[in-house]
Amino acid sequence: ATLRHWGARLVLLPDGVPEAELAREVADADLLLMCYSRISRAVIEVAPKLKAIVKYGVGIDAIDIDAARERGVPVVNVPLYAEETVAEGAFMLLMSLAKRVKPLQAQMQRDGWAWPEARWLAHDLAGKTLGLVGVGRIGRSMARMAGAFRMTVLAHDPGVSAADWPAGVQRCATLDELLPRCDALSLHCTLNPTSRGLMGAAQFAALKPGAWFVNVSRGELCDEAALLAALQSGHLGGAALDVYGREPLAPQGHPLSPLYGLDNVVVWPHLTFYTHEAMARLEDDTLARCAEALRGQALTVASHDPRLRAQTRGVRFVD
């Protein structure tokens, strides 16, 4: 409604629209606003009027950034709207593992009550060690929450200098140093060629027996077959996942379908970001970027993703 009020003509296409149809509609577009659909070089190259590509969200993996940069088309995302929100979601998932929420809730629904038995015995978080892979905005929020629960927090993030390292978080130079010390591990890093498959069979094996694993970042950060094997073998004490290499997850016909049958696994439908407050911030920030593009102003890049920071035309950077 706001864009129409500004005089823009909107063409609405479903996510997953075929490339040829998308290219046809974008050919005379001034602005491309997208969420999940792949924006390929072929699409960008047939849009001579395009002033910007705005991702209403964080992840930019579906956009051919190189092609956009070559054409001088700025690309921006909205990185700040849900940093605290997603951290809250990650901590909720960690808590659900420690307190055995999934099997206890199933017991309550089935029988109405649960008496103290060994199978319901839960864990304190206080005194446990949480490992973080990535201490960007979300990782730092997660660290602060864990500290409030008197957890020891360790982290590995080669992209953060010692001078910028968050207080109260012990620095581990390598994953090999981090993993054996973790009672729980939570991923908070971006997906790129270096981080893809970061957690494989060897890394899961390096975790303490019984450790919990939380992923709210990207499914492709893991070798998901190795994750499933570590759960089925009993080496991992549990996993709580909000993201998957193939979405949507499904109880049948999906490589990770066996997760549904495991009491120590919580599967969440990629919705840790989805709150009233976060959606209001997302709308406001997205409209601000659209306004910049339509007015011919430099687009504000708040993300520290090096792919966006490498842009030299039509953008301005803020910390």
- 212 and 219 Cβ atoms separated by less than 8 Å: no
**Would you place residue 15 in the very low, low, confident or very high pLDDT band (cuts 50, 70, 90)?**
confident
The stretch 227-253 carries a mean pLDDT of 98
Of the listed ranges 1-15, 73-87, 278-292, the one predicted with least confidence? 1-15
Q: What is the distance between the alpha carbons of residues 25 and 3, in angstroms, rounded to a whole number?
A: 18
Catalytic residue among 69, 188, 218, 289: 218
Average model confidence (pLDDT) for the chain?
A: 96
Q: How confident is the model at residue 265 (pLDDT cuts 50, 70, 90)?
A: very high
CB contact at 8 A, 209 and 232: no
Assess whether pLDDT exceeds 90 at residue 236. Answer: yes
Q: Where are the alpha helices (DSSP H) in the chain?
A: 2-5, 19-26, 41-45, 65-70, 83-98, 101-111, 137-148, 175-178, 201-206, 224-232, 276-294, 306-309
* 130 neighbors 152 (Cβ within 8 angstroms): yes
Is it the case that residue 16 has pLDDT exceeding 90?
no
Q: Which residue among 19, 21, 70, 247 is the active-site one?
A: 247
- Among the listed residues 71, 123, 196, 270, the single catalytic one is 270
Average pLDDT over residues 276-303: 96
In the numeric block, the tokens 């729980």 are attached to 184
Q: Which class for 315: exposed (0-12), middle (13-18), buried (19 or more C-beta within 10 A)?
A: middle
Range with the poorest average pLDDT among 12-16, 199-203, 314-318: 12-16
Q: pLDDT, tens digit, for every residue of 55-113?
A: 999 989 899 999 999 999 999 999 999 999 999 999 999 999 999 999 999 999 999 99
* pLDDT for the residue 266: 98
Active site residue 292: no
Predicted confidence (pLDDT) per residue in 182-232, tens digit: 999 999 998 889 999 999 999 999 999 999 999 999 999 999 999 999 999
pLDDT score, position 261:
97
pLDDT score of 5 = 87
The pLDDT, as a whole number, for residue 144 is 98
For the question of residue 304 being annotated catalytic, the response is no
- Give the mean pLDDT of 137-156: 98
- 289 given a catalytic annotation: no
Is this prediction's pTM over 0.75? yes
Provide mean pLDDT across the span 250-279.
98
Give residues with Cβ within 8 angstroms of 70, minimum separation 6.
none
The pLDDT of residue 1 is above 80: no
Place of tokens 């709308």: 283
